[in-house]
Structure 1
Amino acid sequence: MLRADHLIEQLPHKPPFLFLTEVLEVEIGVRAEARWDVVGDEDFFRGHFPERPIVPGVLIAESLAQLSGLVVFSDPAGSVRQASLAQFDVRFESQVRPPAGLHLTSTLTRSLGPLHLFDVCAFNDSIRVARGSLALSATEETE
């Protein structure tokens, strides 16, 4: 396993649309684990049930997609190629309210040319809050 906190800096995503706080481990071409700390002052809470904030499920899915990109599109030297989310089927099992420390996992299950399929899970305090699958496709870099 590769400890890869520096890979967050190489992602094409930047705040406020970066939903990984810390990359815990990356086994390139196999799996990765990360953490997303949701504090409660994130801008999206201003409109997503401000009286009783809930982390939007689509952002949990996005955090899992960002992590999945690190599995197949990064290398130990610290470069990350871009990918596009091609498909996702994520089931949400529990609401996530701030503050929360989401533990994210992604495992590559199959690659078909430029398409990569993953099994993904998100946990909050060891309670599974989301699970499913997603597909990422390699993106051609254009200038």
Structure 2
Amino acid sequence: MDIGEILNLLPHRYPFLLVDRVVEIIPGQKLTAYKNVTINEPFFNGHFPGHPVMPGVLILEALAQATAILAYKSENMDPSRKLTYLMGVDGARFRKPVLPGDRLQLEIEVVRHKGAVWKTKGLATVDGARVAEGEFLATVVDKDADAAESAAS
């Protein structure tokens, strides 16, 4: 899946789109994707000057975006009518820094899926070395229902 297809699925845009390509997807089971990390990423200006490191929370966000792609493709959802929200992250661990020039591989495996709720395990690696991991809980909602709920409050 190329960037055009990813842009059709996810609402995220630069500088917050953190998945560049999906290389494998088995609907309802797993997904493998990657993010090319370049020195041009805006977060490197402040994290950290002179020693750029990708923020760990953005690695988790990349894994969450990959989870959303897996959910959309598994259920053949219409992304113009659905949104995926991150509900929680458990057991997040950061093992090694991610640096400019790294290719961040994102691996998502479904732990459980019931109704609109997805629980996944995410693993991020660089050159085969584990850099971050966690379990993700996400829900898929109707955009119209979400807008109506916001208007009512």
Confirm or deny a common fold (TM above 0.5): yes
Q: 1:30 maps to what in 2?
A: 29
1:99-141: per-residue Cα shift (whole Å, max 9, x none)? 1101110011102332110011000111010112011011221
Partner of 2:7, secondary structure, is: helix
Between the aligned partners of 1:111 and 1:12, the Cα distance in structure 2 is 22
Give the letter aligned to residue 84 of structure 1: Y
Q: 2:130 maps to what in 1?
A: 128
Number of equivalences: 140
Return the match for 1:115 from 117, 122, 144: 117
Q: Which has the larger radius of gyration?
A: 2
1:52-107: per-residue Cα shift (whole Å, max 9, x none)? 00000000000000001111123697843320000012211111111110111001
Q: 1:70 maps to what in 2?
A: 69
1:7-54: per-residue Cα shift (whole Å, max 9, x none)? 312111111110011111111211111010001111111111121000
Runs of 4+ in 1 over 3 A off after TM superposition: 75-81
8 Å CA contact 1:7–1:74 kept in 2: the answer is no
8 Å CA contact 2:29–2:109 kept in 1: the answer is yes
Return the match for 1:141 from 140, 143, 152: 143
8 Å CA contact 2:28–2:74 kept in 1: the answer is no
8 Å CA contact 1:73–1:82 kept in 2: the answer is no
Partner of 2:134, secondary structure, is: strand
Between the aligned partners of 2:16 and 2:84, the Cα distance in structure 1 is 15
Percentage of matched positions with identical amino acids: 33
Q: Give the structure-1-normalised TM-score.
A: 0.89
Unaligned runs of at least 5 residues, structure 2: 148-153
Unaligned runs of at least 5 residues, structure 1: none
Between the aligned partners of 1:96 and 1:85, the Cα distance in structure 2 is 22
Give the letter aligned to residue 39 of structure 1: T
Structure with the larger helix share:
2
Cα-Cα RMSD? 1.8
